[in-house]
Amino acid sequence: MRAAHAGRKSGAAGLTMSAQPSPLAGQLAGAETLIDVAALTAAYYDLRPHPSEPAQRVVFGTSGHRGSALDGSFNEWHVLAITQAICQERKAHGVTGPLYLGVDTHALSAPACASALEVLAANGVHTLLATHDEPTPTPAVSHAILAHNRQRQGPPGEALADGIVITPSHNSPRNGGLKYNPPHGGPAGPAITARIEDTANRLLERELGGVHRMSHAQALRAATTHRHDFLHAYVNGLASVIDMEAIREARVRIGVDPLGGAGVHYWAAIAERHGLDLQVISDAVDPTFGFVPLDADGCLRMDPSSPWTLRRLIDLRQRFDIAFACDADHDRHGIVTPGAGLLPASHYQPVAIDYLFRLRPRWGQHTGIGKTVVSTQLIDRLATRLHRPLYEVPVGFKWYAPGLLEGTLGFAGEDSGGASFLRGDGQVWTTDKDGITAALLAAEITARTGQDPGAHYLALANELGQPQSERVQAPATPVQKARLAGLSAHDVKAHTLAGERIERITTHAPGNRAAIGGLKVNTASGWFVARPSGTEDIYRICAESFAGPQHLQRLLEEAQALVDAVLAADEA
């Protein structure tokens, strides 16, 4: 598994380290490089996917099916087939309540929403759209599902609501996406998505035979199509999860960059409803996203974890006490402080956990902390200090939904910048990622402690350890990727890693025993996770060290050698 790559490399050939950023990083894209919205929309309707091509089949990743109409991977037929499959899933499992339909600001989202509604109406599903057709953040859809299911009358299980969010999240403007949220309000789990995939692909193979559909005009007039005020229902409830009074009274100066996403109109409503000193630095909405700075690789994506994407907000950070951004569907957060600039999620989330579990006295004593296998081990150390259960799961927010719904998880987060947490009274708020409340929590922390989250992280790291982390990748064939995903602890023959005894080898997450789709190896001072990519012929290694940068580099080099040795032995 050795190959040459551009960029800085470790001592192990083939392991691509963080490359130098593109000269275009942080700049605005030239007009000639932006998507042609008309051409993209035309491709959505005109190109028909070929289910015999693996790249053009319906595939649900960690959170929905995503692709581009230009590649034949997210077209009208995909949306029609997936929506019909969801209707059949609902019927098979007795979900008879309303379906909340949200949509973000990507160019393909509006046509996909229209296609989905045509199928939902033809299947007699009561569907709720935003009151004024405004974009709807993912957390607002989750919040609506849970509010309905909490307030409904009747026998248990009757008239439960669910939802669909049309979004490819932070991904390129050329992409589209669709994800299903069942009645627990969070992303659908693997059993549900497997059934939806299978049904949708069979419908594609039958050239949509079995798909019920009516015209969009008919669907809009159908007795089953309704309107719902997502915005005010969500905004009015925020005081139950965030101490808005503390932020208001401390007069925290807040800056927000919605990155042209689905929450763009929410922030002004939040400021007005709760009396916050909040400035939206840009309320532009344009499906080309030409106002968003380019990412490190010179590509355009709405990723609030990238300092290049957030360059304009970072440049303005001295104007504010705290600032933040969210991605296109507002389920991810990026926190910017005057001193530290953009805080990685691995810095901010431990601060959020420490604060919440000390300042939410109504949360139960046994309420736990959710993290993924690739999240910082600082959270593990923090859970021990807080005497809280730790629930470690594979990558994917879907694993957290039941715990958040039941209140057994107080906080759940992903290293990619997604998180959700309970209301102040210990009841569920959302069971999907909520970039808005995660961002507003940074303002609450600043208001109630007098220090921003960046200062709190320094204190926390000084006490519990200062981790350093890196992500790298190496090439892998489909056969090697499948082998890596199916490894067991017995496949690893090494006993030491980076000079330390291997303490634990994990292929199934300790929190729920679900397969992590790879391998995690822990020592006293660090760990690494090796996982194959779901979309590329590579595998990725995430590593973290509490023993300094040299130890981290050694971890990375030996991790690749260890993985290569296992795969080579299998091939032999």
Buried b (16+ CB within 10 A) or exposed e, 126-159: bbbbbeeebbbbbbbbbbbbbbbbeeeeeeeeeb
Q: Residue 392: what pLDDT? A: 97
Q: Residue 4: what pLDDT? A: 29
Distance CA 338, CA 321 (A): 7
Q: Residue 564: what pLDDT? A: 83
Query: Which of the residues in the chain have pLDDT under 70?
Result: 1-19, 153-158, 534-535, 569-572
In terms of phi and psi (left: phi > 0; alpha: psi -120 to 50; beta: otherwise), the region of 208 is left
Helix or strand or coil: residue 358? helix
pLDDT digits (tens, 9 = 90+) for 155-202: 665 699 999 999 999 999 999 999 999 999 999 999 999 999 999 999
Backbone φ, ψ for residue 366 (5° rounding): -105, 10
What fold, for 234-464? Alpha-D-Glucose-1,6-Bisphosphate; Chain A, domain 3 (3.40.120)
- Beta-strand runs (E) in 445-525: 468-475, 496-497, 500-501, 504-508, 515-522
Does the CA dihedral 496-499-504-508 come out positive or negative? negative
Closest to 345 in 3D by CA, of 312, 401, 385, 303? 303
Closest to 201 in 3D by CA, of 69, 85, 43? 85
Backbone φ, ψ for residue 541 (5° rounding): -120, 125
- Per-domain residue ranges for the chain? 47-228, 234-464, 468-571
Active site residues per annotation = 169
Distance CA 41, CA 36 (A): 9
Asked if residues 437 and 445 have their Cβ atoms less than 8 Å apart, the reply is no
Q: Residue 5: what pLDDT? A: 30
Angle value at C-alpha 117, between 116 and 121, nearest 5 degrees = 125
Residues 6+ apart with CB under 8 A from 293: 25, 26, 27, 28, 308, 309, 310, 311, 312
Distance CA 173, CA 41 (A): 12
- The residue assigned the tokens 């440049």 is 315
Check whether domain 468-571 has CATH 3.30.310.50, yes or no: yes
Work out whether strand 175-181 and strand 468-475 pair parallel, antiparallel, or are unpaired. unpaired
Q: Residue 473: what pLDDT? A: 85
- Beta-strand runs (E) in 204-321: 225-228, 253-257, 277-280
Residue 552: Cβ-neighbour burial (10 angstroms; 0-12, 13-18, 19+): buried
Per the structure block, which two tokens stand in for 114? 């229209």
Calculate the dihedral angle through the C-alpha atoms of 46, 221, 230, 264, rounding to the nearest 10 degrees: 40
Q: Residue 569: what pLDDT? A: 66
Q: Can you list the pairs that 356-361 forms with residues at least 24 positions away whose Cβ atoms lie under 8 Å?
A: 356/410, 356/411, 356/421, 356/441, 357/386, 357/388, 357/410, 357/411, 358/386, 359/448, 360/410, 360/422, 360/424, 360/426
Distance CA 372, CA 394 (A): 5
pLDDT digits (tens, 9 = 90+) for 229-256: 999 999 999 999 999 999 999 999 999 9
**pTM, to two decimals:** 0.94
Beta bridge partners of residue 65, listed in sequence order:
60, 178
Q: Which CATH superfamily is domain 47-228 in?
A: Alpha-D-Glucose-1,6-Bisphosphate, subunit A, domain 3 (3.40.120.10)
One fold for 234-464 and 468-571 = no
